[in-house]
Amino acid sequence: MLNCKTLAFLDKSAQNESVTFFEVCVILILEPVRKKLKRGIIVIVKKYFGIEAKMSQQLITATKDMTSEKSGDNSFQSTKVFLFDDYAVLKMQNINFRNVVTEDHDLKHLESLAETLLELKSKNVNVVPILAFESDEGNGYMVQSRAKGTELYDRHKMSIKDYVLNQVELLSKAPQAHFDKFVADTIAIIDAGVLIDFVGKDNFFYHESIGFQFIDLNAHEDFEYGLTDMKMQGKQIAVYGCFLPCYFDTMPQYLDTISKLLAELNDAERTSLNENNKNIFEKCKVAMLKNGITAQEIEEMISNDWFMPQKQQLDLL
């Protein structure tokens, strides 16, 4: 039921040509906080899922006096990350874009995504769920659970030789069960229509007890937005994607930082790196077979020309 303030607002809106029918609908549906600016009515959208509104607001307010610990940019969004004991707060520009072409003015797509992630989490899939978000003119905040462990590879440490060698060795020694679940979770996430960015190795966390975790799940696959008629199948994506985050590329095509690091390795270090990478690769293959991906599908994948750098690296030629 609409309250008196809302009715009064709608009465004023009807006389204001700058307020669109869409804005009125958003107010009716979401009942968000509103404020007036000189140029008209701005709608603030706030949603809470797995967290109390008061706690979410306290976390967001606290970031105002903090320095971000992580940051990221792509072609359409800029994000700063503030870390707490159990939570992460993302301050985002263009939070109302799910990808470079898909606008999400009322954040209904993001709301649907948050609900999907919570459902996946309830099924023991290792996703980091969205607990709350708010948007003001397209910029805003997202509150998430904090992932356990550390990034597979921290992009800011990729030029540090000892760091890279230690991370590759850590993943090489990870139990097969963690790789099995990594592939199973990948299939579940893709089949739920959620986009996974496999290229960014810091889009995944690893914890020695929990295993692999998926972070930065901020968009659906293109099919969910009507951008394509083809819905991707989890196994199709997993057969290639699950190899990418885990091992360290020793045959870079464009990454100068990696090339410089590799030049610093002595023979023993290079041999160790290659052996650990091969071990990771084999564990990924075993995990795929256990999750219903056939040996033929794996062979077809590694036979593609775009897998040539990896084949050279892993002595598969």
CATH of residue 69's domain is: 3.30.200
70: helix, strand or coil: strand
Q: What is residue 193's DSSP assignment?
A: T
* pLDDT score at 138: 72
* pLDDT score at 18: 41
Q: How many CA atoms lie within 13 A of 243 on its CB side?
A: 21
Where does a domain end: 145, 165, 197? 145
Quote the domain boundaries for residue 117: 47-145
Say if CB 233 and CB 249 are below 8 A apart: no
149 burial level (CB within 10 Å; 0-12, 13-18, 19+)? middle
Q: What's the CA angle centered on 169, arms 284 and 241, to 5 degrees?
A: 30
Looking at the structure of the chain, the number of domains it has is: 2
* pLDDT score at 120: 96
Find residue 139's DSSP bridge partners.
136
25: helix, strand or coil: helix
Same domain, 283 and 228: yes
Same domain, 179 and 237: yes
Instruction: Specify the pTM.
Output: 0.80
* pLDDT score at 42: 47
Taking the C-alpha atoms of residue 92 and residue 277, their distance in angstroms, rounded to an integer, is 35
Find residue 212's DSSP bridge partners.
206
Same domain, 125 and 171: no
Taking the C-alpha atoms of residue 123 and residue 111, their distance in angstroms, rounded to an integer, is 19
232: helix, strand or coil: coil
Say if CB 242 and CB 289 are below 8 A apart: no
- Residue ranges of the chain with pLDDT lower than 50? 1-42, 252-254
Phi, psi angles (nearest 5°) of residue 139? -105, 155
